[in-house]
A and B are shown apart, each in its own frame.
Chain A
Amino acid sequence: MKNIVVVGGGIAGVETACLLAESGNHVTIIERSDKLGGKLNQWYCLFPDFKKSDEVLDYIHNRLKNFDIEVKLKSVVENVEPNGNGWFIYTGNVRYAADAVVLATGYDLFDATRKEELGYKIYDNVYTQADIEAKFKSGNLKTSYGKDPERIAIVHCVGSRDEKCHNMYCSKVCCVTGVKQAIELAKFLPKTEIFCFYMDLRMYDKHFEELYRSAQEHHNIQFIRGRVSEVSESSDNRLSIKTEDTLSGRPMKMKLDMIILLAGMEAKKNTLATAKLFDVETEESGFLKSKDFHLGAGILSRKGIFAAGTCISPMSIKETIENARSSAFQVNEYLKSL
Chain B
Amino acid sequence: MEFGFSTLETRSIDYDKFDRKLIEYLLRYEPSLLVCMACGGCTATCSAGNLTEFNIRRIQLMVKRGETDTLKAEIDKCMLCGKCMLICPRGVNLRNVVMLIKKALATEVIEKSDKQSLNS
Contact = CB atoms under 8 A, between A and B. Distances in A.
Interface stretch (B9-17, B74-82, B98-106, B112-120): B9-17
Contact of A253 (B13, B35, B58, B90): B13
Nearest to B64: A222
B112 to A, nearest CB: 25
A216 B36 CA distance: 8
A251 B34 contact: no
A283 interface: no
Interface size class of B (residues with CB under 8 A): 20 to 34
Contact of A255 (B16, B57, B62): B16
B65 A248 contact: yes
Nearest to A225: B38
Nearest to B27: A220
A234 B61 CA distance: 27
A251 B37 CA distance: 19
Contact of A248 (B14, B16, B37, B62): B62
Contact of A245 (B13, B31, B34, B90): B13
A216 B11 CA distance: 27
A216 B35 contact: yes
A225 B37 CA distance: 10
Nearest to B12: A251
A255 B14 CA distance: 9
B11 A217 contact: no
Nearest to B10: A251
A254 B11 contact: no
Nearest to B40: A247
Contacts, number: 49
A250 interface: yes
Interface string A245-283: 101101111110000000000000000000000000000
A248 B58 contact: yes
B34 A217 contact: yes
A277 B44 CA distance: 57
B26 to A, nearest CB: 13
Contacts of B31: 217
A136 B106 CA distance: 47
Given A225-B38, A253-B12, A247 B90 contact: no
A252 B15 contact: yes
Interface string B20-38: 0000000000010011011
Task: Identify the interface centre among B31, B35, B62: most chain A CB within 10 Å of its CB.
Answer: B35
A182 B1 CA distance: 54
A213 interface: yes
Nearest to B13: A252
A248 B62 CA distance: 7
A255 B13 CA distance: 12
Nearest to B36: A216
Task: Identify the interface centre among B12, B13, B35, B67: most chain A CB within 10 Å of its CB.
Answer: B13
Given A213-B90, A248-B58, A248-B62, A220 B34 contact: yes
A213 B92 CA distance: 12
Given A213-B90, A247-B61, A248-B58, A253 B14 contact: yes
A95 B35 CA distance: 59
A69 B30 CA distance: 59
B61 A253 contact: no
A245 B65 contact: yes
Contacts of A90: none
A252 B11 CA distance: 9
Contacts of A255: 15-16
Contact of B15 (A213, A225, A247, A254): A254
Contacts of A245: 13, 61, 65
Contacts of B90: 213
Given A213-B90, A245-B65, A250 B34 contact: no
6 smallest beta-carbon distances between A and B, as pairs: A254-B15, A251-B12, A252-B13, A216-B35, A216-B34, A217-B35
